[in-house]
Structure 1
Amino acid sequence: MSTPQVAIVTVSYGSDEALEPFLASVPSAGAEDAVVVVADNRPGFGEAERIATTHGAEYLPMPANLGYGGAVNRAVRGLPDSVEWVLVSNPDIVLGPGSLDVLVATGSADPRIGSLGPRVLNADGSLYPSARDVPSLRTGIGHALLYRVWPGNPWTTRYHRSESEPTGRDAGWLSGSCLLVRRRAFDELGGFDDSYFMYFEDVDLGYRLGKAGWLNRYEPAASVVHTGAHSTSESSSAMIRVHHDSAARFVARKYPSPLLWPVRAIILAGLRVRAEVETRRGRGGKV
């Protein structure tokens, strides 16, 4: 009987359309004996259980909607002790041939690596931003306040500069859309902070991994496609607000000093304005 060393965890929330091609892409990605778990945040809706069973994956219904990080944490806790690497992925990802094997090989070659991210492409072949620096206070303020009114400002440019550089490197954080984590590092930190219901749990994890001495490695030799067929598109206005709420939570926790409260207030005000602007645009309203 084989002893699995790699696991794959994906989270479904009525994600039938995306789940089928994701699971179909798993065999060619590598890690022949990988354990595959579908954590379902919306059990009883759709056909996630049937799809998971058809592809030989374990179906794990959640007791409630635990959010992305909470569902991943629940799934990881139930994995066999032998598992050393866990690929955490959105269901709207199609894994490229050999991509998982490349990530595992790169991570196994360097014990300092706590997480790895592949090159992520959009469905049209363009590069999806998946490896960035954790923004400094100055960059965070400039990006939060000016991105919508002056997209080419130097702070946003600095934050986005890695998007056009598909070269192997260490990053501040890697996109949780497709992320391989060393289980020991993940467990040491208690997994994702599940107070982030959705969004920024990956930024927070990368930041905490870095603080704990682990590396976040971007490995573009492994490639996946982000199809964008994700259930959050059903309620874009609500998701915009959740995104900005999570960003505000991260800022408050990264810079907790009482002396920095004016700076936090400026960033949070900028995030609130951006949320309102993006929500109105999403509804077709004037800004």
Structure 2
Amino acid sequence: MAKLSELNQALVSPQLIYPSGEHQENARGLPTPRAKLANRGIRIPGFDLASYARSGFQTPTYVAWLMGAALAGSTESFNHLGGWDDRYFIYYEDHDIGLRAWDADLKLVLDPRSEWVHTWQRATTTLNRSAWKAELRSAWTFYRTYPELITRGRVNRSERFDHIGPLLWQTALDV
């Protein structure tokens, strides 16, 4: 992963897997509200969930953001990004560092040849009030920081993240 990080000037993540061996969809596209809702099981007409959450890659692949459970990069890259943003107690911190990386001309790469068992499951899959409060607080902070994502795909939208599109889901440089 270190060589991939250096070659692609990227933050890199292994393929996350559940203890059962099933792949988690830790490779993600742009986190628009539509994508987030569809990923939570809400039917959004005309939205293809595969444009947001994917797994099953055979080669290192460029993604918009990666789940923060296991993320690697050079110390220089993390320092350049300012590290993790303390405004996010839990949830959305990985979205944020991914988009800040792209803004700083760093890429994000999922390496499917490396696997990491990830046993934690988000607490907002149930009606856990404190977890939902943390999720909504982080979402509020995130979309105030990245309002362009709210209107993504609509008329008069910002072009801030257009540079990600041509590389999204493409095979990364390999070692």
Contact 1:199 1:242 in 2 (8 A): yes
Structure 2 unaligned spans of 5+: 155-175
Greater relative contact order (CA < 8 Å, ≥ 6 in sequence)? 2
Task: Provide the residue aligned with 2:20 in structure 1.
Answer: 124
Quote the Cα distance in structure 2 between the aligned partners of 1:226 and 1:204.
Answer: 20
After superposition, the CA RMSD in angstroms is 2.9
Q: Which residue of 2 aligns with 1:97?
A: none
TM-score using structure 2 length: 0.71
Structure 1: runs of 5 or more not aligned: 1-102, 264-287
What SS does the aligned partner of 1:178 have? coil
2:78 aligned to which of 172, 179, 186: 186
1:167, CA displacement in angstroms?
3.5
Deviations 1:81-130 (A, max 9, x none): xxxxxxxxxxxxxxxxxxxxxx123223x1x4231000110111111121
Identical columns (%): 24
In structure 2, relative to structure 1, the CA distance for the partners of 1:245 and 1:184 (3 Å cut) is: same
Residue 117 of structure 2 aligns to a residue in which SS?
strand
Residue pair 1:114, 1:186 contacting (<8 A) in 2 also:
no
- Asked if structure 2 preserves the Cα contact closer than 8 Å seen for 1:116 and 1:180, the reply is yes
Render the CA deviation track for 1:164-210: whole Å, top value 9, x for unaligned: 44531111111110111211111012111111111111110010010
Judging changes above 3 Å, is the alpha-carbon distance between structure 1 residues 251 and 125 closer, same or farther for their aligned structure 2 residues? same
Higher helix fraction (1 or 2): 1
Cα distance change of structure 1 residues 220 and 231 upon mapping to structure 2, 3 Å threshold: same
Cα 1:240/1:188, change in 2 over 3 Å: same
The 1:227/1:151 distance shift into structure 2, 3 A limit, reads: farther
Give the match for residue 35 of structure 2: 143
